[in-house]
Amino acid sequence: MAGTILVCYDVETASDNTLGFLDGAVPMHEEMDIPCTMSLTGETIEACTAACKAAGQHPLVCSAQHTYSHVLLKTVYMQPGDGKPCSHSADGSDTFLIEAGDLETIEQELSRTQQIFLDTFGHPCRGLTAPWGAYRGLMDRPDLLRILDKVGLKWVRSYARDHRDCQPTPFDVQAFFYADQGLPDLLEIPIQGYQDDFYWERFDDRAHGPDYTDYLSWAVEHVVANDLIWCLNSHDHGTPTAEAFENTKGVWLRDVLTKAKSAGVRFVTCEAFYREQLAARDG
């Protein structure tokens, strides 16, 4: 009873940042012997095919999709209510709105990326990370869940925001099947805490200390003490080389993963977790 961490990355920039990120992150996971899940946009697979394919074939890496061009499934309206400029707002506004794609576009993006994934990796894609995430995930959107089911997706990471559409997502939000929405075999795997260091920078109240590693250390203790499931997330942002990865995200990732390992935390991929949840449910 020491908790479970699903280390997850959104690989979405279709640029040198993707290449540097994969060059840094994959060897780090190999060295630490910790599995991870990478959610790739179709555009990123097309732009960096060889690197994505090599990462996806690594035994410690589980691959999933992140739509074709990063279209939102649900509109996000961030309203932190603390009087400070909101994350992503170009004009210093204290709120930020970004609209979802229409249903037709969402279905096209998911289907197109399912095909790109199959052509690249030689097996169907079973998981999706919803760009930007949303409060309550897709609980209130059975129409979207039916589209996910139609294109063959089995699990989704979409509950990644709090009631203000900001972060952190509370740790009491844990994985669940969308049974009440009519999709009993479709699993939600929420992203608790912050989606990445830049969201912590804006939204954290520093109650756990001045650095992101302080927050992450608290999170590990909380997960261990309560035997929780935690999706720890990051992105291929600002990582044009493996060295850049090591000097930025690699610093806090190594720190939190080392602490979690020594605390006895279990690490699994999203696909392995999905199979466990299905087996547990069905006895």
The residues of the shown chain that bind Zn ion, judged by CB under 5 A, are 10, 12, 131
Report the residue number, 98 or 179, with the smaller CB distance to Zn ion: 98
Q: How far is the CB of 160 from Zn ion (least distance, A)?
A: 10
Contact 66, 33 (CB under 8 A): no
Q: How far is the CB of 10 from Zn ion (least distance, A)?
A: 4
Which residues are within 8 A (CB) of 206 and not within 5 positions of it... i.e. 6 or more apart? none
CA 60 – CA 26 distance, rounded (Å): 8
Report the residue number, 117 or 260, with the smaller CB distance to Zn ion: 117
Q: How far is the CB of 235 from Zn ion (least distance, A)?
A: 6
Alpha carbon dihedral 241, 121, 7, 163, in 10-degree steps, equals 100
Gyration radius of the chain over CA positions: 18
Which residues are within 8 A (CB) of 179 and not within 5 positions of it... i.e. 6 or more apart? none
Q: Tokens 């806090």 map to which residue? A: 252
Q: Tokens 């992503």 map to which residue? A: 88
Report the residue number, 39 or 277, with the smaller CB distance to Zn ion: 39
Q: How far is the CB of 121 from Zn ion (least distance, A)?
A: 19
Phi then psi dihedrals of residue 67, to 5 deg: 70, 180
136 φψ region: left (φ > 0), alpha (ψ -120 to 50), beta (else): left
Q: Output the residue with the shortest Cβ distance to Zn ion.
A: 10
Q: What angle is formed at CA 201 by the lines to CA 196 and CA 207, rounded to 5 degrees?
A: 105
Contact 275, 234 (CB under 8 A): no
Contact 137, 158 (CB under 8 A): yes
Report the residue number, 70 or 154, with the smaller CB distance to Zn ion: 70
Strand 183-188 with 176-178, pairing: antiparallel
Report the residue number, 142 or 238, with the smaller CB distance to Zn ion: 238
CA 111 – CA 151 distance, rounded (Å): 6
Q: How far is the CB of 61 from Zn ion (least distance, A)?
A: 17
Report the residue number, 237 or 275, with the smaller CB distance to Zn ion: 237
Report the residue number, 195 or 217, with the smaller CB distance to Zn ion: 195
Q: How far is the CB of 233 from Zn ion (least distance, A)?
A: 9
Q: How far is the CB of 122 from Zn ion (least distance, A)?
A: 24
